[in-house]
Structure 1
């Protein structure tokens, strides 16, 4: 087997691995965020939220497991994207990978807050006051959202690099690249607002609803394409890239 055949085989393996990881991540996110947090956390009612967690302890714990699956998948995707996109631009694909790994690290810190919440829910009757537990749980739930939101700003930067690289390839459909780029700006704008401009939360919530489709379809669409098409033929750079511009090493 020649070097080029080995490289293409590595690309195909990375594409399939990344595509599967993205799909698993989407399903886990739909469960852990869409089902668990959205159903159990009641906005501006910490007592009701804590009672929901107490009565659905197993569901909340399963949600945490889902977040851990998401974290593992993010690490896998960071590696697979680097291998797959490296022929387009080694340095930018490495940067994209490090941005995703940085996001994964921040997500890991955020998940620890959910672990503390479940510990508090299991501490009923211990040295904590019954009145204090909902307040403490709410603090850690807010910490989870804040830390995760900061991570998603960096995640937006990762998608920007991936969107740029895929856009400069002849093989990858342009609609996928455009969705990735739109999603990257959406993540960064929305979560900068959530994190640093809380007075604009009402506007940011509307903006998030409007941009949800490209945010979801961008990476998910790329993942599906990777699974079925990625790496079957060598990536070809757009003619606009010269060897000097690409800085291939």
Structure 2
């Protein structure tokens, strides 16, 4: 093999990688989105609805004590799956959208990582609940009413800690929607859906954190769910237009 042949091969290999790499990234991102969705349904909906009884601290404490395994693996374990998947997904979205704007793609990535960090710290509240209910040094230190009140306090703290993390996601969703809309290699309608979802997250965060007796309106939940479902499905089924992605990447690099 001559030097010229080797050089020619070295030129073709990166070109082939450039065409296939964004499609692979899109597929993996779509899979991670679905993993996050499934694990989040378990951690944020199934476990709380099964174990937490609104306005009944005694029943809630009893349920968690009786279903400790569900609380550990469904509440804490599933949340760890979400958090680890979020880190990888954030990096993949940054790479996928970097050809549109490296700066804005970074702006989109940072608040999502901040959200993930807050949610990771927020899991301490669940561990405090377990300590209060299962560790003899704590169960002996508090009477039943005190123990149940503290359990309710830490569960409420977990609820609001999660909402604080989502507040940082608002910036990510708005910038993500803009990047998708401007990309040219992902349908613009998906960008519009994310801009609407960002509005939904904003309304929800303000309602939960600043208003009393707030309940998420159906239209808000619909806007958020539509974007968060449509985008990963598109990534899995269609991916991205690799030629346009490569063209945008070349423009950014030049």
Bin the TM-score by the shorter chain: 0.7 to 0.9
Tell me what 2:26 maps to: 15
Matches within 5 A, 1:116-195: 116-123=128-135, 125-195=139-209
The partner residue of 1:219 within 218, 228, 244 is 228
Partner Cα separation in structure 1 for residue 145 and residue 126 of structure 2: 19
Partner Cα separation in structure 1 for residue 188 and residue 203 of structure 2: 23
Tell me what 1:55 maps to: 66
Higher helix share: 2
Question: Runs in 1 of length 4+ with deviation above 4 angstroms?
Answer: none
Partner Cα separation in structure 1 for residue 207 and residue 253 of structure 2: 37
Tell me what 2:40 maps to: 29
- Deviation, 1:40, is 1.5
The alignment's TM-score, normalised by the length of structure 2, stands at 0.85
Per-residue CA distance 1:171-227 (angstroms, 9 max, x = gap):
3223322221111111122112211x233x34xx142x3211221221222112112
Partner Cα separation in structure 2 for residue 114 and residue 152 of structure 1: 18
| Alpha-carbon RMSD | 2.2
Instruction: Note closer, same or farther for the CA distance 1:82–1:234 as it changes in structure 2 (3 Å cut).
Output: farther
Q: Which runs of 5+ in 1 are unaligned?
A: 238-242
Partner Cα separation in structure 1 for residue 81 and residue 221 of structure 2: 22
Partner Cα separation in structure 1 for residue 106 and residue 239 of structure 2: 18
The partner residue of 1:234 within 228, 238, 243 is 243
Are 1:86 and 2:98 matched, yes or no? yes
The partner residue of 1:99 within 111, 128, 132 is 111
Per-residue CA distance 1:82-133 (angstroms, 9 max, x = gap):
0111111111111111111111001111112112212222136433322221
Q: Does the Cα contact within 8 Å between 2:186 and 2:240 map onto a contact in 1?
A: no
The alignment's TM-score, normalised by the length of structure 1, stands at 0.87
Q: Does the Cα contact within 8 Å between 1:88 and 1:235 map onto a contact in 2?
A: no
Tell me what 1:112 maps to: 124
Instruction: Note closer, same or farther for the CA distance 1:213–1:101 as it changes in structure 2 (3 Å cut).
Output: same
Q: Does the Cα contact within 8 Å between 2:26 and 2:235 map onto a contact in 1?
A: yes
Tell me what 1:240 maps to: none
Partner Cα separation in structure 1 for residue 124 and residue 29 of structure 2: 25
- Deviation, 1:2, is 4.6
Tell me what 2:3 maps to: none
Q: Does the Cα contact within 8 Å between 2:22 and 2:240 map onto a contact in 1?
A: yes
Q: Does the Cα contact within 8 Å between 2:185 and 2:241 map onto a contact in 1?
A: no
Partner Cα separation in structure 2 for residue 18 and residue 7 of structure 1: 17
- Deviation, 1:159, is 0.9
- Deviation, 1:170, is 2.6
The partner residue of 1:41 within 39, 44, 52 is 52
